Structure 1
Amino acid sequence: MSINQIVTPLDSAVLDSKEQYVFYHKMVDFVLKELIVKVQQQQLCNHQELTFFKQYCDLLLYSIEAMRIKYMYDEEDNMKVDLTDSGFPNYLEFRYLHNDLELRNEYIDRLQDTHSLKVEFLDTLLRKKEPVKKSRLFQASSVVYYSSVNQQYIFNRFVQGKIIEAPENSNANLMTSWSFYDVSNNRPYVCYMYFDYDGKRIEDQKEELYQVLKESADREMPLATMAYNIDRKLTKIFPKHIKRIDLGPLHNVFAKDENEITHAVLSGIGKKEIPLESYALSLKIDAIFSGDTFKEGGFFSKQTMQKWSDVIPQKYVFAPHRIIQLLHNKTPEVLNKLAKPPIQVADLKIDI
């Protein structure tokens, strides 16, 4: 598989062969699992944050595996990967999964049973000595897809985590997490909020909190704006610390943007200085803390609001050793702005 075999209309790369689906899935699966390990080793998240982070990554991986099964032998539709500052599937692919699985029972009733498919495939391969037709393979993959994929594990545009007690040494009593897939840049985000509650039972305001987060913190925006909106809409909840992790872009052969790291990786692949499966992953962690309070509103409706610190941005890059060398040579000024030197992850090896 060469770069020229990847179709790139507008801002999406269309995966249109079994080899490309396998290649892409192996890459994303490998990169996210490496990321989880390194985030823990580098202590970029505390233990509880890491647990939530892994859960959201698992949902993302589950969804991409479902896409692989869904599209592998489909001759009519192709999965699209966002090319611009992402490297992850286009958000619409997640919507398609949800829409498909809403009609799961209806589709299953129409599909051929697995036993008869196995008998047919064995007869074709062993007796007739012929390859199985792609249309029949699509039928088999559809059976696997609709019978095994669970809609509740698909990464949605907004995924809410539970409210729990904050870890020791936190500046608040409670914490919650959520994740969202931004529809404008097609990247996943993971957020954490540490807060105090001025009431007896947080369960009394749990649903309201969840609704506010879904309405006010479900897209990429200035973190100070997000913090203010949450604080203003929840009178008994006092946010103390909000942390947001931006996953991506994933710089790889499927990307095409003005990002200097992407350009360096693609240039290296094009000149055959590095293999086709080479990658780097950017990650950004923004944090904001509350300090003093102030009153806002009219005489009869004053509300205590938090004063927020400046946003503390921290940028990281994860890449194998050879790619780090390449970036030091081609983009040293970008690496100088990172919170830490590039964090080394393992090489990905795919037989092409």
Structure 2
Amino acid sequence: MPDDSPVDRYFASIHAALEGLDVFLRDDRSPLYKHGLVAQAVTEYVERLEASFTCWRHHLDYAKSFRISRAESGFPVFQNVLELENDRMTAKARLAEIPAPDALREEMADFILRHKAFPRDLQQSMAERLYLEHVQEGHVFSPLVLPETIKVSVNPKTMRPFYLVHWGAFDGVSNLPLVYTAMIEDSSPDIVKMLVTEDGKLDTSVEIPLPVGGLLNPKLAREFDAFAERNSAYSLSPSTIATNMDRDFDELHPKQLRRIVLGPFYSAGITEHNKRVNDVLEKVANPANAWLLTWTIQDIYSKSEKPARKGIWSSEPAREEFHIETDDLDAARMGVSAYEKHALIPHEAYQALYAAGETEAVFAGYQTHIISGGEVISDV
């Protein structure tokens, strides 16, 4: 496959975009850096995407099945994600059926000497082995990346412990990778007793080996995993997801929910979802710099908590009252308290847009970040 094929250009540009996003997330000037753990969590999902794309590229060396959402997200279609997950689960058994690399090399050399021809079937077996070895490592972006607790502290006002939890999902309709983080208070009596001291601080005598797979509360962890699986679709607004969490768990109190929507992604000659952007990107001299990655950060937070009510005949648990910014039409449409739209673009591509007089039209409403020489320049 030639180096300048559309396939190679797509993989080169998406890898460059993800590497650029990783640089941005680690930059102390980035908006997420002030929330260090959130940036750390998002970085993990960027690494998962990078690993997935590496696997898909190896897969193409022996199986010609790979489709991207050219007219919408610019990311692979959901079927590729499902197939990668299935291969991850079956990789060990399949690898056992393929000869070891050294044995394959010997067979290839012997085939060439005996038949004076290229051993295409053996080459495909080697490519499949390389693919399965990468997949077996398992650190890919699955349809659902289960929740993980990365921080535990105590709210001295409510005397409750709170968790910072994150999880990921690849949406099957929009073909977009989604990252969720949530700050959740837990009023479960046994958890409060175990984690909170009498003066409202975290009990440091309790060893918590962070990160913890799943919700920290073991009685609710499995149910919370199931909740994440049911409530991570892009079609659900953040306010709907937060309200569902508040309703489904009487002793969990979501104080803030954040969704990071990665994409759409634009690549010259590949994607078709914005003609204006595509026309300019195709004029970029270096194809490796002919791309644009966007993402949206959506936040919903609780403005107050309606206290629990206990009565003789009926009772109601505490419930959150979430703030939706109705003065902003886009925020109201998204069902969020606040949102940010970001765009990351190579310097050469930005110059092409600038020269074409398209920067204002393309980046209206976006915080724009230009990557150049391994550094990110923001607020241009």
TM-score bracket, shorter-length normalisation? 0.7 to 0.9
What residue number does 1:9 align with?
none
| Counterpart selection for 1:212 from 222, 227, 235 | 227
What residue number does 1:256 align with?
272
Alpha-carbon distance change, 119 to 23 in structure 1, aligned in 2, over 3 angstroms: farther
Structure 1 residue 251: Cα displacement: 0.8
More moved, 150-159 vs 302-311: 150-159
Per the normalisation by structure 2, the TM-score is: 0.75
Native 8 Å contact 1:264 1:331 kept in 2: no
Structure 1 residue 282: Cα displacement: 0.7
What residue number does 1:302 align with?
316
Unaligned runs of 5+ in 2: 192-216, 325-335, 375-380
More moved, 105-114 vs 184-193: 105-114
Structure 1 residue 142: Cα displacement: 1.1
Native 8 Å contact 1:239 1:290 kept in 2: yes
Give runs of aligned pairs for residues 58-137 of structure 1, distance below 5 A: 58-74=47-63, 77-122=64-109, 132-137=118-123
| Aligned mates of 2:303, 2:99 — CA distance in 1 | 62
What residue number does 2:182 align with?
193
Alpha-carbon distance change, 269 to 34 in structure 1, aligned in 2, over 3 angstroms: closer
Native 8 Å contact 1:252 1:265 kept in 2: no
Structure 1 residue 50: Cα displacement: 1.5
| Counterpart selection for 2:347 from 316, 321, 327 | 321
What residue number does 1:288 align with?
300
What residue number does 1:5 align with?
none
Secondary structure of the corresponding residue to residue 295 of structure 2: strand
Residue-by-residue CA offset, 1:138-183 (whole Å, 9 max, x unaligned) = 1210122234421632321111232233579999832100111011
Secondary structure of the corresponding residue to residue 235 of structure 1: coil
More moved, 150-159 vs 17-26: 17-26
| Aligned mates of 1:197, 1:222 — CA distance in 2 | 23
What residue number does 1:152 align with?
138
Do residues 26 (structure 1) and 12 (structure 2) align? yes
Structure 2 counterpart of 1:102, one-letter code: M
| Aligned mates of 2:156, 2:294 — CA distance in 1 | 27
Structure 1 counterpart of 2:100, one-letter code: D
More moved, 300-309 vs 177-186: 300-309
Secondary structure of the corresponding residue to residue 245 of structure 1: strand
Native 8 Å contact 2:180 2:258 kept in 1: yes
Alpha-carbon distance change, 327 to 219 in structure 1, aligned in 2, over 3 angstroms: same
Secondary structure of the corresponding residue to residue 320 of structure 2: strand
Structure 2 counterpart of 1:94, one-letter code: V
Native 8 Å contact 1:81 1:89 kept in 2: yes
Give runs of aligned pairs for residues 236-251 of structure 1, distance below 5 A: 236-251=251-266
Native 8 Å contact 2:66 2:80 kept in 1: yes
What residue number does 2:286 align with?
275
Indicate the RMSD between aligned Cα atoms, in angstroms: 3.2
Residue-by-residue CA offset, 1:27-77 (whole Å, 9 max, x unaligned) = 222211210211332432221112211111112211221111122133xx3
Do residues 336 (structure 1) and 364 (structure 2) align? yes
| Aligned mates of 2:98, 2:81 — CA distance in 1 | 23
Do residues 143 (structure 1) and 143 (structure 2) align? no
More moved, 39-48 vs 88-97: 39-48
Native 8 Å contact 2:264 2:294 kept in 1: yes
| Aligned mates of 1:24, 1:122 — CA distance in 2 | 33
| Aligned mates of 1:32, 1:108 — CA distance in 2 | 29
Unaligned runs of 5+ in 1: 3-16
Native 8 Å contact 2:163 2:183 kept in 1: yes
More moved, 290-299 vs 272-281: 290-299
Counting matched residue pairs gives: 324
Structure 1 residue 218: Cα displacement: 4.1
What residue number does 1:229 align with?
244
More moved, 189-198 vs 29-38: 29-38
| Counterpart selection for 2:173 from 170, 181, 184 | 184
More moved, 80-89 vs 227-236: 80-89
Secondary structure of the corresponding residue to residue 318 of structure 2: strand
